[in-house]
Chains A and B, each alone.
Chain A
Amino acid sequence: MLTSQHDLIADPETYPGGPEPEARRPRRLQVLIADNDRYNLRTASEYFEGTEFDTVTVSSAEAARLVISFSADALDAIVLDGRLIRDRDARDRSGYALAEEMLAQFGHLPPIIIFSRYEDRRHSEGDRDGIIFVSKYVRHEIVDRVREVIQLHRLSRRRRAGPSHPPPPVIILDDQRGAADRLQDKLTEYGIQALTCADMSALAEAAPYLPPAMFVIDLDAGAGAAGAEAIRSLKELRDASGRPFYVAALAGREESKRAAAAAADVFLVKASAEVDALELITRLSLHKMELERAAAARPQTQLALRWYEELIRQLREVRESPAHGLAAPAETVRRALNWPFLEPEEQLVLSSLYTQMLAAGRGGADAGTLDLCIEGASMLADERARDADVRGWLERARRHSAGFTLAWLDEEFFDYEP
């Protein structure tokens, strides 16, 4: 169960392990703005940020393509400059081309607005669905127009599932088109969503807005230094944001030293597209398992804390009225021992409590022992004993009652009989 892509994509706190749902901010509208002119990009962003919008800003078509491909579900609108490559080139209709490409690929997307000084006559003549033109000469109207089209879009009742890539996708950074395309084709054959990217700066721009992905960085000639830099940047981003990227370096054996220096999560020696794809898929499976495990941590913690509080209550009840017996707390401890993904400290405390409860049996436990059990349960209820002095507790518990320990080894075991 991975985080819904409807979460705020720029907010790392909503990824597995983040804070409780109640702690999230109320959702603001999200708009992607792509403009190769940094000044225009900043200005447009400021228009939106001053209202009910959050913005995702990128400065290239490639970066915009990545964000739309993997995070369109989390966007409410897409604002593209008409000329994303060369502003003074009348032949540059890259913004339009990107919009048409994305619509053709995914069928249904949030409303796309071309925000430009130059209207493409072919677009206006063709009047494509889902692409609206807003002139930069009336830039102050952009926010109102975007708000308007979002409303219309919601009312259209034609909303189908947007692009949905069961995470994690694979993004291949390689400046050698042929090799990257072959690898992409092989991955696709195996049912993996894979995209290629030749531009490191576009990748760096888009990466904060992408779901947990596997990035495959080709370190071979032509891409070596840039590839190593890409690995370093992605790892920095991962550390800073907490996003669980997986970074694989792909290169010939002669690049092994550079790969080791880059310290990717895995270094794969290139063989063939087919073999490389299979190796990457194997690594991807491990990455997915780790994501799943991280995703399970939050609900399990919620479950655990509720039951540990109940355990405290049950033990206090026994402390006040020994006639209750330890059957109920023992059952609660057993329930906890049946959960997967227990932390080592949890396992230690639970197994010690259980051993004590079995030892006490029908005879019950004295007040001191019960106090220690309550203390152990309290440690569990405090973030699953993660930061508790479990060792100190166990030393005190063992000295008070041997029932906390599993005493199974006779000292004569060490006596040698010739």
Chain B
Amino acid sequence: MSPKRAATKRAPSTRAKRRKAPAALFLETTAQILRIAGTPEIQRGINELVDDSGKVGTSWFVRHEYEEVLVKFYRAVAEAARMLPHPGQDRPFEEMWREVAGNLPRFYPGGPNLFPHLNEKMNEMFRGMRVTPMELRNYLEGRGEEARQGFIEGELHDKSSCGVWVNGGSCRCDPEPGDACRLKETCVARRADFLASAGTVAAATKCAESKWLKANLLRLYAAQGKALLELLGKHPNPVGDLVIFWEVPDGWTLLTRDRCFGILRDAHRRRLKIYIVRLPRLEGGGECVIRPETNQEMAAEATVLNYTAKDVRVRLRRAGRPFELEEGDRVILSTGIFDGNRRGEVLHRNEAVFVIKLPFDTRRV
């Protein structure tokens, strides 16, 4: 089955100025995962930075998280495929995939958050085909192997390795963390910094970890040495960003999709440079017309400054602006970039410059 391809008539466009590749690029977990499983444009953008940077590295905890999330996710789905009966007998893919979904345990790495995304892609690829369980199992195991081998290690920085991550939060060192424990460099030697950063995230509103940290801040403050490590080991998900944040060496640029790191940077390491994983922007795009969805008789002319598959940045013409646009307004955008018109939503504005978010997947622009 061929993937959807959007046939577009568009104005000539050129690639927007690429971000300057840093001397040292640190790949955080989201960057590592998106480099393997993200959209083609995202993969390309990350690879360009990787290839152009002076050196590339990551951390022990990033590698641990990556394996716990992506590699084990693939393994869980492949195992569910392994449970299908009659491995050599071909069947409609949709029927088999439903069984795979049913074979998945209630809790598994990556969990039900990741599966719907894989589900959509697998249906797109195999819909209408007859496949055998063996074929499906080998395919998924192959993708899992790709994930395993696709992890970029480069320079591996380690201030987090510890038995608590693999022993369910139990530390075998006694009475305090031993020489082999690197996590103590983050949580014992830099305890004050670590706890301060926990407080920052707890107070934030835009971090997924905030809720847990807020509820457990006092426990973190009260735990010392080995007890603190064990507490973290029992709850790796909400503390992962904090651990990684302090693993990034000075002078390195952190590449991530997780905007929580920006919050941490602003509060604790202002000199840390962060690149957010995002779609590349294309420059130009010519003229466009914007109409409010509620009153399409009115129209405002604008110039497309740059755009991605998901949003368009425009500058309204000063003259003849018949209406005002505010954040959240729903509009219809007519431009040569895409086929026909597109419905969008004003994401934010700055004077005459607006970013209009496009809800539809127009990957092939």
Chain B residues 112-126 with CB under 8 Å of chain A are: 113-114, 117-118, 120-122, 125
Scoring A338, A346, A411 by chain B CB atoms within 10 A of each residue's CB, the highest score goes to: A411
Q: In the assembled complex, how far is the CB of residue B43 from the closest CB belonging to chain A, in whole angstroms?
A: 6
Interface assignment of A378: CB less than 8 Å from any CB of chain B: no
Contact A409 B114 (CB under 8 A): yes
Chain A residues 347-389 with CB under 8 Å of chain B are: 347-352, 354-355, 358-359, 361-363
Q: In the assembled complex, how far is the CB of residue B45 from the closest CB belonging to chain A, in whole angstroms?
A: 10
Contact code string B119-148 (vs A, CB < 8 Å = 1, else 0): 011100100000010110011111101100
Q: How far is the CA of A408 from the CA of B146 in the complex (A)?
A: 14
Interface assignment of B190: CB less than 8 Å from any CB of chain A: no
Contact A352 B146 (CB under 8 A): yes
Chain A: CB-nearest residue to B118? A408
Q: How far is the CA of A342 from the CA of B117 in the complex (A)?
A: 27
Q: In the assembled complex, how far is the CB of residue B123 from the closest CB belonging to chain A, in whole angstroms?
A: 11
Which residues of B have CB within 8 Å of A391? 149-150
- A416 touches which one: B38, B118, B259 (CB < 8 A)? B259
Interface assignment of A398: CB less than 8 Å from any CB of chain B: yes
Contact B121 A411 (CB under 8 A): no
Interface assignment of B353: CB less than 8 Å from any CB of chain A: no
Contact A350 B142 (CB under 8 A): yes
Interface assignment of A414: CB less than 8 Å from any CB of chain B: yes
Contact A414 B117 (CB under 8 A): no
Chain B: CB-nearest residue to A390? B149
Interface residues of chain A: helix, strand, loop or mixed (majority): helix
Interface assignment of B154: CB less than 8 Å from any CB of chain A: no
Interface assignment of A137: CB less than 8 Å from any CB of chain B: no
Known: A340-B134, A362-B2, A405-B40. A411 touches B257 (CB 8 A): yes
- A337 touches which one: B118, B125, B135, B207 (CB < 8 A)? B135
Which residues of B have CB within 8 Å of A354? 139
Interface assignment of A24: CB less than 8 Å from any CB of chain B: no
Q: In the assembled complex, how far is the CB of residue A226 from the closest CB belonging to chain B, in whole angstroms?
A: 36
Chain A residues 144-158 with CB under 8 Å of chain B are: none
Contact A411 B278 (CB under 8 A): yes
Which residues of B have CB within 8 Å of A339? 134, 138
Chain B residues 1-28 with CB under 8 Å of chain A are: 1-3
Which residues of A have CB within 8 Å of B304? none
At the interface with chain A, which of B29-37, B59-67, B170-178?
B29-37
Contact A350 B43 (CB under 8 A): no
* Size category of the binding interface on chain A: 35 or more
Interface assignment of B299: CB less than 8 Å from any CB of chain A: no
Chain A residues 203-251 with CB under 8 Å of chain B are: none
- A411 touches which one: B132, B135, B208, B277 (CB < 8 A)? B277
Known: A348-B142, A405-B36, A407-B37. A338 touches B3 (CB 8 A): no
Q: In the assembled complex, how far is the CB of residue A418 from the closest CB belonging to chain B, in whole angstroms?
A: 6
Scoring B141, B146, B260, B279 by chain A CB atoms within 10 A of each residue's CB, the highest score goes to: B146
Interface assignment of A399: CB less than 8 Å from any CB of chain B: yes
Q: In the assembled complex, how far is the CB of residue B127 from the closest CB belonging to chain A, in whole angstroms?
A: 11
Which residues of B have CB within 8 Å of A362? 2
Q: In the assembled complex, how far is the CB of residue B125 from the closest CB belonging to chain A, in whole angstroms?
A: 6
Contact A409 B33 (CB under 8 A): yes
Chain B: CB-nearest residue to A406? B143
Interface assignment of A22: CB less than 8 Å from any CB of chain B: no
Q: In the assembled complex, how far is the CB of residue A332 from the closest CB belonging to chain B, in whole angstroms?
A: 13
- B145 touches which one: A347, A399, A414 (CB < 8 A)? A347
Known: A347-B141, A348-B146. A409 touches B117 (CB 8 A): yes
Which residues of B have CB within 8 Å of A406? 37, 121, 143, 146
Known: A338-B88, A358-B1. A345 touches B40 (CB 8 A): no
Interface assignment of A89: CB less than 8 Å from any CB of chain B: no
Contact A411 B42 (CB under 8 A): yes
Interface assignment of B235: CB less than 8 Å from any CB of chain A: no
Which residues of B have CB within 8 Å of A410? 38-39, 117
Contact B38 A359 (CB under 8 A): no
Chain B residues 48-94 with CB under 8 Å of chain A are: 51, 87-88
Q: In the assembled complex, how far is the CB of residue B51 from the closest CB belonging to chain A, in whole angstroms?
A: 8
Contact B36 A334 (CB under 8 A): no
Contact B138 A347 (CB under 8 A): yes
Interface assignment of B271: CB less than 8 Å from any CB of chain A: no
Q: In the assembled complex, how far is the CB of residue B7 from the closest CB belonging to chain A, in whole angstroms?
A: 12
Which residues of B have CB within 8 Å of A395? 150
Chain A residues 387-403 with CB under 8 Å of chain B are: 390-391, 394-395, 398-399, 402
- A415 touches which one: B1, B117, B125, B257 (CB < 8 A)? B257
Contact B34 A409 (CB under 8 A): yes
Q: In the assembled complex, how far is the CB of residue B200 from the closest CB belonging to chain A, in whole angstroms?
A: 15
Q: How far is the CA of A408 from the CA of B124 in the complex (A)?
A: 10
- A348 touches which one: B33, B149, B206 (CB < 8 A)? B149
Which residues of A have CB within 8 Å of B113? 413
Contact A351 B139 (CB under 8 A): yes
Q: How far is the CA of A413 from the CA of B110 in the complex (A)?
A: 12
Contact A409 B37 (CB under 8 A): yes
Which residues of B have CB within 8 Å of A19? none
Q: How far is the CA of A395 from the CA of B146 in the complex (A)?
A: 10
Q: How far is the CA of A363 from the CA of B364 in the complex (A)?
A: 15
Which residues of A have CB within 8 Å of B206? 416, 418
Q: How far is the CA of A407 from the CA of B138 in the complex (A)?
A: 18
Which residues of B have CB within 8 Å of A348? 142, 145-146, 149
Contact B117 A416 (CB under 8 A): no
Chain A: CB-nearest residue to B119? A408
Which residues of A have CB within 8 Å of B149? 348, 390-391, 394
Contact A350 B138 (CB under 8 A): yes
Interface assignment of B258: CB less than 8 Å from any CB of chain A: yes
Chain A: CB-nearest residue to B121? A408
Interface assignment of A344: CB less than 8 Å from any CB of chain B: yes
Q: In the assembled complex, how far is the CB of residue A212 from the closest CB belonging to chain B, in whole angstroms?
A: 26
Which residues of A have CB within 8 Å of B118? 408-409
Which residues of A have CB within 8 Å of B258? 414
Q: How far is the CA of A407 from the CA of B39 in the complex (A)?
A: 5
Which residues of B have CB within 8 Å of A355? 125
Contact B3 A351 (CB under 8 A): no
Known: A359-B3, A407-B39. A334 touches B135 (CB 8 A): yes
Contact code string B269-303 (vs A, CB < 8 Å = 1, else 0): 00000000111000000000000000000000000
Interface assignment of B44: CB less than 8 Å from any CB of chain A: yes
Contact A351 B207 (CB under 8 A): no
Contact B260 A345 (CB under 8 A): no
Q: List 8 A-B contacts (CB under 8 A).
A: A338-B134, A349-B142, A405-B146, A407-B38, A407-B39, A410-B39, A411-B42, A416-B259
- Name 15 extra pairs, CB < 8 A, besides A345-B145, A395-B150: A334-B135, A338-B88, A338-B135, A351-B141, A361-B1, A405-B36, A405-B37, A409-B37, A409-B39, A414-B34, A414-B257, A415-B259, A416-B207, A416-B208, A418-B205
| Chain A residues close to B by CB (< 8 Å) | 334, 337-340, 342, 344-352, 354-355, 358-359, 361-363, 390-391, 394-395, 398-399, 402, 405-411, 413-416, 418
User: Nearest 9 CB-CB pairs, A to B?
Assistant: A351-B142, A402-B40, A361-B2, A347-B142, A408-B121, A409-B37, A348-B145, A414-B257, A416-B208
